[in-house]
Structure 1
Amino acid sequence: MDQTSARRIDPNSDAAIAGSVTPFPIEDIAARLGIPANGIFRYGPYKAKLAHDYVRTLEERAPGKLILVTAISPTPAGEGKTTTTIGLGDALARIGKKAAICLREPSLGPVFGAKGGATGGGRAQIVPMQDINLHFTGDLHAISAAHNLLSALIDNHLYWGNALDLDTRRISWRRVVDLNDRALRQVVVGLGGAANGFPREDGFDITVASEVMAIFCLAKNLEEFEARLSRMVIGQTRGKRMVEAGALKGVGAMLALLRDAFQPNLVQTMEHTPAFVHGGPFANIAHGCNSVIATRSALALADYVVTEAGFGADLGAEKFLDIKCRQAGLTPAAAVVVATVRALKMHGGVAVKQLGTPDVAAVRSGVANLARHVENLQKFGLPVVVALNRFLSDTPEEIEGVRDALAPLGVSVHVCSHWAEGGAGAEALAQEVIALADRPSAFHTLYPDALPLREKIETIAREIYRAGEVSFTAAAGARLAEMEAAGFGRLPVCMAKTQYSFSADPALRGAPSGHVLPVREVRLSAGAGFVVALTGDVMTMPGLPSVPAAEGIFVDAAGVIGGLS
């Protein structure tokens, strides 16, 4: 037996905690929401997909109340947004509410990179944890295959005569893989002679940044999915006319690869609350929300649906509200902003190694980041509550410092212990959420459709990031003008920005203001229905860290996977 197979799973790890619970059969979880046995397709005993035919029967039902969970700007100290989403859903179920949870599927890039898995932590997890963090039901593989099928069709079209007159210098459609691999950011394809096609520059994005993924998460049904895929712009002709994917006549084949994946996945929490886990766009480079079809299905089946948006509220929540809610006609009832005392200390200037030392002054300084996110959400007309995800090292004085700092905003702070106690540790938060959700909705988006694209970017930069100025490269400015002229000016904007700061500088923590936001490139996602603005050094293909998480993942002699977190 080699060293890898001799490893043992840490009994205190999230994987071990998740493994200590026996899930209910997935039919029982479906029955909690009134889903009949013929409304699901089983993927083993604990995973299922909602059947397309059943999903269509839900379209006319009155929706439940949608609760958005978001967070402060992320730090290495950890915030626990997914854990809080799960804990809140469990808490709502514990107090007798018909609740469901909507999350994104983990990408293999972070699982093997720096972040790890995305199934929660402690006693607030979704299961089967290992399945979900790895291949799950194969959705991300299907998205990769469909995306790369279109890539192959483009090069095949060039090889067989290029009837569409595509300019090989202006092909914007790249390839994807669901891993972090910086060596693939820029590549040359078609080398090796005439039999292999025409050499040209190309590149890879991570699958979760694919426009196919964005469409997967924004389409309401198969018919709309196909229409959106057809509208994707793959490049330009030598006369600079935009060419759509539909012209290559491969969209039907792409949809065939995606048909089963497009059915929402149903799993459960450790406390057996139903959870829909579907779609997985990153919030720093994409729109960062789970699929519309899963969210709408959950709203038709439950009275309260708790969902999360990726990274800090300046990214995931803004895109959830300005892109997903705008396109899907969703109206969130309340928002929860997650923070930890430890993370607030980091925003207040404390180094990671000193986070265990009480420091009320640093907490009060770091609350500026939390307050900024709260104020931003209030600009959308949303009632807000703060969930303070508690660590044992937190002192009463530090917690009181958070409450005092937020008092002028009229926002309550609930100390939560769901990581250790499950839903029982978030019951007070659940009661507050119910009270907020009962208020009449005043939700509105940040900007109107008619605002020009450049002004939409400037509005987000000014109102959400508190930038003093937005600088556009000449190429970005010209591309925006080109998009406006082509009739895409009414689309919302999807900002690609570092998740670690309100600015484009990941080292600038806290609540900076007056900075310059540099927009270096803009990309049209015509099928998804938004324009992507890339700022600073943000990459659509991440790289691995010096010590990737993959080094700690193993399979023991019994076939059990360890090292996932």
Structure 2
Amino acid sequence: MQNEYSKIQSDLSIAQAAKLLPITEVAETIGLTADDLETYGKYKGKIHFGTIKSLESRTDGKLILVTAMNPTPFGEGKSTVTIGLGDALNRLGHQTVICLREPSLGPVMGMKGGAAGGGYAQVVPMEDINLHFTGDLHAITVANNVISSLIDNHIHQGNALQIDPERITWKRAMDVNDRSLRNIVIGLGGKGNGVPREDHFEITAASEMMAIFSLAEDLLDLKEKIARTVVAYTYDLKPVTVGDLGAEGAVAVLLKDALKPNLVQTIEHTPALVHGGPFANIAHGCNSLIATKTGLKLADYTVTEAGFGADLGAEKFFNIKSRIGQLTPALTVIVATIRALKFHGGVGKRELSEENVEAIKNGFQNLMKHVETMNAFGIPFVVSLNRFVTDTEREISEFEKLCSKFNIPFAITDVWEKGGAGGIQLAERVLSIINQVEKTGSSFQPLYPSHVSLEDKMNIIAKNVYGAKGIELSPKAEKQLRDIEQNGWTNLPICMAKTQYSLSDDPKKIGRPKDFTIHIRQLKPSIGAGFIVAYTGDILTMPGLPKHPAALNMNMDGDGKVTGLF
């Protein structure tokens, strides 16, 4: 395969040149038939709920989580390693399914680019997955906004629930970056246009509706989660839910087809379930629970990823998703790159391609903190160095020396260039450690029990995962904490909304900062999703576009062939 495409450089060109199998043939490799799928064209399909239910009696396979050190602004290839590892395990004869999040149009058309992997470790059809795919994110957006519409209509039609327009917590959603919509005023133009009030938009991937969708186990669970979602408070401060509005049925109906997991394939035809897409710096950052559980029933190994570094996606995977879904991951892969090590060693973004062995030594402390976090959860791990063409032999040698010095298991991966063949070393190391752990049993457990206070939970995360001295609540957050306690929601896990670029809440504090405090400015109960969101620093739920958005590079020809997508 590599010889066939050796002259092709861009991810899009590689994906467009790939020879895809009909999705029904991909399904057959994991024991599914055409009757188990609802096909979306030739290369995409959704798995029927009846099929998923029929798998319940099967024994689960092993669950492998891929996370990373704190990234550079360019990303370190976590999805690429996830896909390459899945391909490598299949090459070694192990039935494997990959589980990824669906890309949001915000990053795709903004700054970060797509989320279908890269090089020869991609899920395909890449253009479809990165753009509208099977319409799941549009359905989630509409379901979210139907709730907003019903809230405002309820107030306009007499407000029987006595909703205080100044205490509506539910925001409208949109799946693109648009800073102008963060704070708006609606209902202008006279009485016939509704009650004027301040409102807000957040990006769909950061919405509670996305979190609800991604943590629902089936249709009935989805409807129950929607019904208990708190959207506002009355004039006497009582919570108002979607169930109070009588809207859970209509909202669930809009999501009934979207909730079926999407089946696609990698360039090497490994089955991939790409479903659900919450951000990890704001929301919980994991693909859908229903897709993960389906993968575990269909394969010996399910390889999934959680967004950004282990301080965000992995922490939430262990403390939120694993708790809600009763999952026990077998092993974690921590993705590192030479450029991220240099970045956290003090090298500027423009100099990351230049050799700097000393910076790798300094930046290694960031990776070490994530290693310590895995140990705190009792989860075995392997560090995967995702190799880039700018990495020098001296830099790679220094990385290997540091890993050996601290007894850190590692493997070099070259999956961008070589696909699954470039992930064999990692796959063999993963299998070896999982086999060792099977003999002694798993010691995995979340960092905190459900019964401790919310303040204790935030302090535990801040101290054990970030390395902070502790937390500091703003006056607003202190009041919100008292309200949450009064409403009896303290048993829920915490979802920390924090910058991805630093262990702290300040993106400029790179490396392994010390003697810092995590500042909690606001707490938001996401009762439908089943957690409390703690907003730190300057984190926003509606991103803005960069000076030169990726959308300006995109085009297509008269035949509909896409260019400029990455």
- Fold shared, TM-score > 0.5 on shorter chain: yes
Q: Residue 346 of structure 2 aligns with which residue?
A: 349
The answer as to 2:41 corresponding to 1:23 is no
CA 482–409 in structure 1, closer or farther in 2 if over 3 Å, else same: farther
The answer as to 2:316 corresponding to 1:322 is no
- Give the drift of 1:535: 0.3
Query: For 1:216, which of 213, 219, 231 is the aligned residue?
Result: 213
- The residue type paired with residue 223 of structure 1 is L
CA 139–64 in structure 1, closer or farther in 2 if over 3 Å, else same: same
Aligned equivalents of 1:119, 1:410: Cα separation in 2: 32
Aligned equivalents of 1:40, 1:27: Cα separation in 2: 8
The answer as to 2:241 corresponding to 1:244 is yes
- The residue type paired with residue 24 of structure 1 is L
- Give the drift of 1:407: 3.1
- The residue type paired with residue 53 of structure 1 is G
Q: How does 1:460-471 map to 2 (within 5 A)?
A: 460-471=461-472
Query: For 2:270, which of 273, 278, 303 is the aligned residue?
Result: 273
- Give the drift of 1:11: 4.9
Aligned equivalents of 2:354, 2:105: Cα separation in 1: 35
Aligned equivalents of 1:451, 1:247: Cα separation in 2: 29
Q: Residue 104 of structure 1 aligns with which residue?
A: 101
- The residue type paired with residue 453 of structure 1 is L
Q: Residue 561 of structure 1 aligns with which residue?
A: 562
Aligned equivalents of 2:11, 2:531: Cα separation in 1: 37
The answer as to 2:538 corresponding to 1:541 is no
Q: How does 1:272-421 map to 2 (within 5 A)?
A: 272-421=269-418
The TM-score normalised by the length of structure 1 is 0.97
Q: Residue 552 of structure 1 aligns with which residue?
A: 553
Q: Deviations over 1:87-145 (max 9, x none)?
A: 00000000100001000000000011000100000000000000000000000000000
- Give the drift of 1:356: 2.4
Q: Residue 194 of structure 1 aligns with which residue?
A: 191
The answer as to 2:167 corresponding to 1:166 is no
Aligned equivalents of 1:467, 1:435: Cα separation in 2: 34
Q: Residue 260 of structure 2 aligns with which residue?
A: 263
The TM-score normalised by the length of structure 2 is 0.97
Contact 2:73 2:501 in 1 (8 A): no
- Give the drift of 1:527: 0.7
Q: How does 1:112-151 map to 2 (within 5 A)?
A: 112-151=109-148
Aligned partner of residue 377 in structure 2, secondary structure: coil
Aligned equivalents of 2:158, 2:129: Cα separation in 1: 44
Aligned partner of residue 332 in structure 1, secondary structure: coil
Aligned equivalents of 1:499, 1:55: Cα separation in 2: 34
- The residue type paired with residue 106 of structure 1 is P
Contact 1:77 1:343 in 2 (8 A): no
- The residue type paired with residue 548 of structure 2 is V
Q: How does 1:471-510 map to 2 (within 5 A)?
A: 471-510=472-511
Aligned equivalents of 1:469, 1:447: Cα separation in 2: 15
Q: Deviations over 1:263-309 (max 9, x none)?
A: 00000000000000000000000000000000000000000000000
* Stretch of structure 1 that moved more, 313-322 or 346-355: 346-355
Contact 1:78 1:340 in 2 (8 A): no
Aligned partner of residue 258 in structure 2, secondary structure: coil
- The residue type paired with residue 135 of structure 2 is G
Q: Deviations over 1:405-451 (max 9, x none)?
A: 23354322211111000000010100111122221211100111011
Aligned equivalents of 1:536, 1:499: Cα separation in 2: 12
Aligned length: 556
Q: How does 1:41-60 map to 2 (within 5 A)?
A: 41-60=38-57
Q: Residue 6 of structure 1 aligns with which residue?
A: none
- The residue type paired with residue 404 of structure 2 is A
Q: Residue 4 of structure 2 aligns with which residue?
A: none
Contact 2:65 2:333 in 1 (8 A): yes
Aligned partner of residue 545 in structure 2, secondary structure: coil
- Give the drift of 1:354: 2.0
Contact 2:97 2:301 in 1 (8 A): yes
Q: Deviations over 1:244-271 (max 9, x none)?
A: 1111111111111100000000000000
Query: For 1:423, which of 420, 423, 435 is the aligned residue?
Result: 420
Q: Calculate percent identity across the aligned residue pairs.
A: 52
- Give the drift of 1:77: 4.8
* Stretch of structure 1 that moved more, 389-398 or 515-524: 389-398
- The residue type paired with residue 541 of structure 1 is M
- The residue type paired with residue 537 of structure 2 is G
Contact 2:210 2:278 in 1 (8 A): yes
- Give the drift of 1:477: 1.0
- The residue type paired with residue 372 of structure 2 is E
Contact 1:469 1:514 in 2 (8 A): no
- The residue type paired with residue 479 of structure 2 is A
* Stretch of structure 1 that moved more, 84-93 or 427-436: 427-436
Q: Residue 528 of structure 1 aligns with which residue?
A: 529
Aligned equivalents of 2:222, 2:508: Cα separation in 1: 39
Contact 1:285 1:496 in 2 (8 A): yes
Aligned equivalents of 2:105, 2:395: Cα separation in 1: 36
CA 77–179 in structure 1, closer or farther in 2 if over 3 Å, else same: closer
Task: Quote the RMSD (CA, aligned, Å).
Answer: 1.1
Aligned equivalents of 2:199, 2:279: Cα separation in 1: 22
- Give the drift of 1:353: 2.5
- Give the drift of 1:394: 1.9
* Stretch of structure 1 that moved more, 255-264 or 428-437: 428-437
Aligned equivalents of 1:144, 1:154: Cα separation in 2: 16
Contact 1:501 1:510 in 2 (8 A): yes
Aligned equivalents of 1:424, 1:11: Cα separation in 2: 18
Structure 2, unmatched stretches of 5+, are 1-6
Contact 1:465 1:513 in 2 (8 A): no
Aligned equivalents of 1:431, 1:411: Cα separation in 2: 16
Q: Residue 516 of structure 2 aligns with which residue?
A: 515
Aligned equivalents of 1:145, 1:252: Cα separation in 2: 14
Query: For 1:38, which of 35, 40, 46 is the aligned residue?
Result: 35
Aligned equivalents of 1:11, 1:94: Cα separation in 2: 23
Structure 1, unmatched stretches of 5+, are 1-9
Aligned partner of residue 464 in structure 1, secondary structure: helix
* Stretch of structure 1 that moved more, 268-277 or 16-25: 16-25
Query: For 1:13, which of 10, 15, 21 is the aligned residue?
Result: 10
Contact 2:75 2:112 in 1 (8 A): no
Q: How does 1:73-92 map to 2 (within 5 A)?
A: 73-92=70-89
